[in-house]
Amino acid sequence: MDNNEKAIVRTLLYSDVFDYPLSEDEVWKFLISDKNINKRLFESKVKKINSIVFRKEGLLYIEKKELAVSKRIEKFTHSQKKINIAYKTIKKLFIIPSVLFVGISGNLSMMNAEKKDDIDLFVVSKKDTVWITRLLLIIYLKILGKHRKRTDRNVSDKICLNMIVDEENLSLPKNLRNLYTAHEVAQLRPVMQRGNIYQKFINSNEWIKKYMPNVIRESESQGIEESRKSLPKVLSELILRFTFLENLAKLFQRMLIKRNLTREIIEDKIIALHPKDYKSIILAQYRERIAKYGL
């Protein structure tokens, strides 16, 4: 295999960790390569590569993983229902004035969710409002009956606030910059925003091109609904102007989170709730596959 074919196989091996075959367009978008590849050359290579790559229903997968195709089709049905729930819920969340962007993250962003799965959201908040934004989102989600609690056993269709970042902290921390996080950024499904914040987020994380050079270009073409929904002006100003509310919200929530603190990031500008180290698990499985095929 030449370097172009190896990049295609590496990309499929990563998706194989999730039992997720890819279309040709998806292979191009999420192509794992340390340099740019000419698209025409890619298109000729991806059509011919067949040493360990197989096709079914327009999807590419690694040998002996034919069942993954039917699994993806089945998960698509479950995901479509969850996407509808997510979109309806997210639009309601923009009544909170400090919410600037909400996108769907995790498996659902790739339409790869199982029926039992929850719905992960990525949120960007206004400057210095990360904690009050999270508190208001939780309260509103509880009112809607959609908030996922840590102790919930049945989490199907519940909303998990996976990560919240400040609009002045859009570039993710250096300790999170790896293939796993790059893919999470790349597969983020934007739903609604205020003031073109999604493009600012993508531009602030150009480091992902180190792992997937085509992602930034592909992300720029995504259309996102702009929201003008908000609370009455008096309440909006109360939330956004009085910093003591942010400090109180931070003190209260940090106290609750620290009771069960594992791998969570709880800082002034970013809250990332990942109690399980999925990054290490996924990357370890990916490295095993890479080693197996000598890549």
Predicted TM-score (pTM) of the model is: 0.88
pLDDT at 134: 93
The single residue listed with the structure tokens 């995504």 is: 222
187: domain CATH number is: 3.30.460.10
Q: Where in the sequence is the domain holding 196, given as residue range(s)?
A: 74-276
- pLDDT tens figures, 271-285: 887 656 678 899 999
pLDDT at 234: 62
Contact 132, 249 (CB under 8 A): yes
Q: Do 14 and 119 fall into the same domain? A: no
Give the CA angle between residues 163, 181, 198 to the nearest 5°: 60
Residue 132 CA to its chain's centroid (Å): 22
Q: Do 107 and 240 fall into the same domain? A: yes
Q: What is the DSSP letter of 106?
A: H
- H or E element in which residue 125 lies: strand 119-125
Backbone phi and psi for residue 101, each to the nearest 5 degrees, phi listed first: -155, 140
Q: Do 21 and 124 fall into the same domain? A: no
Q: Do 176 and 248 fall into the same domain? A: yes
Q: Do 57 and 105 fall into the same domain? A: no
Calpha distance 42→47 (Å, rounded): 9
Sequence-distant (≥ 6) Cβ neighbours of residue 156 within 8 angstroms: 115, 116, 117, 118
Q: Do 174 and 42 fall into the same domain? A: no
pLDDT at 179: 94
- pLDDT tens figures, 20-52: 999 999 999 999 998 888 888 888 888 888 778
Counting as low any pLDDT under 50, the low residues of the chain are none
Work out how many domains the chain is built from and give that number.
Answer: 2
- Count of beta carbons in the 10 Å neighbourhood of residue 247: 14
pLDDT at 222: 64
Contact 25, 68 (CB under 8 A): no
Q: Do 112 and 222 fall into the same domain? A: yes
Looking at the DSSP bridge assignments, the partners of residue 140 are none
